[in-house]
């Protein structure tokens, strides 16, 4: 890590936040589609599996770069925090404000996208498990579970 010039704001912010804004936008769009589906919910007819089928390629496209750079980004964050007083002050201010809301620090935020995919796997497996055999969404959910 010492060999790389972490003092460059562009270099460090690109590494630390690669794809994070795309992921945020992907999840916001997905949430809106879920809300629309739930607004006209029918237990015997409404499906959600197709929403996951549609979003999986997009998420894969944006998660892959984030996951590939996560270890380097985490190491860079710790290096920058330790060696850059201005960054450390900014992070400390942010974390003080966040502590009152959710007690999360910057590394906790940075790991969230890494933790999201296993949560999707668990959610979809449970949706499939608890969807009755005759429901039209069951085969779609089975397919999504296999694709994950």
pLDDT category, 10, cuts 50, 70, 90? very low
For position 15, what pLDDT does the model report? 62
Which alpha helices (DSSP H) does the chain contain, by range?
A: 9-16, 20-39, 49-83, 85-101, 106-130, 138-147
pLDDT category, 1, cuts 50, 70, 90? very low
For position 58, what pLDDT does the model report? 87
Tokens of residue 54, six digits: 């549609």
User: Scanning the structure block, which residue is given the tokens 């912010």?
Assistant: 13
Higher pLDDT, 16 or 24: 24
Query: For the segment 76-131, what is each residue's pLDDT rounded down to a tens digit?
Result: 889 989 998 988 998 999 899 998 899 899 999 889 989 988 999 999 999 999 99
> How far, in Å, are 27, 51, 142 from residue 129 at the CA level?
24, 18, 9
Report d(CA 23, CA 66) in Å as an integer. 9
Using the predicted structure, report yes or no on whether residue 11 has a pLDDT greater than 80: no
Q: What is the pTM of this model?
A: 0.76
For position 8, what pLDDT does the model report? 52
Using the predicted structure, report yes or no on whether residue 136 has a pLDDT greater than 70: yes
Tokens of residue 106, six digits: 């910057």
């Amino acid at each position: 890590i010492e060999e790389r010039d972490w003092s460059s704001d562009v270099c460090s912010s690109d590494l630390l936040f690669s794809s994070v804004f795309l992921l945020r936008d992907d999840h916001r769009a997905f949430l809106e589609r879920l809300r629309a589906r739930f607004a006209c919910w029918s237990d015997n007819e409404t499906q959600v599996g197709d929403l996951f089928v549609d979003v999986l390629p997009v998420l894969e496209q944006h998660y892959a770069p984030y996951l590939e750079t996560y270890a380097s980004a985490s190491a860079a964050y710790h290096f920058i925090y330790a060696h850059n007083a201005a960054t450390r002050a900014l992070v400390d201010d942010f974390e003080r404000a966040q502590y009152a809301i959710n007690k999360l620090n910057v590394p906790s935020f940075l790991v969230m996208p890494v933790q999201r995919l296993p949560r999707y796997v668990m959610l979809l497996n449970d949706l499939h498990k608890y969807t009755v055999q005759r429901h039209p969404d069951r085969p779609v959910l089975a397919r999504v579970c296999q694709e994950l």
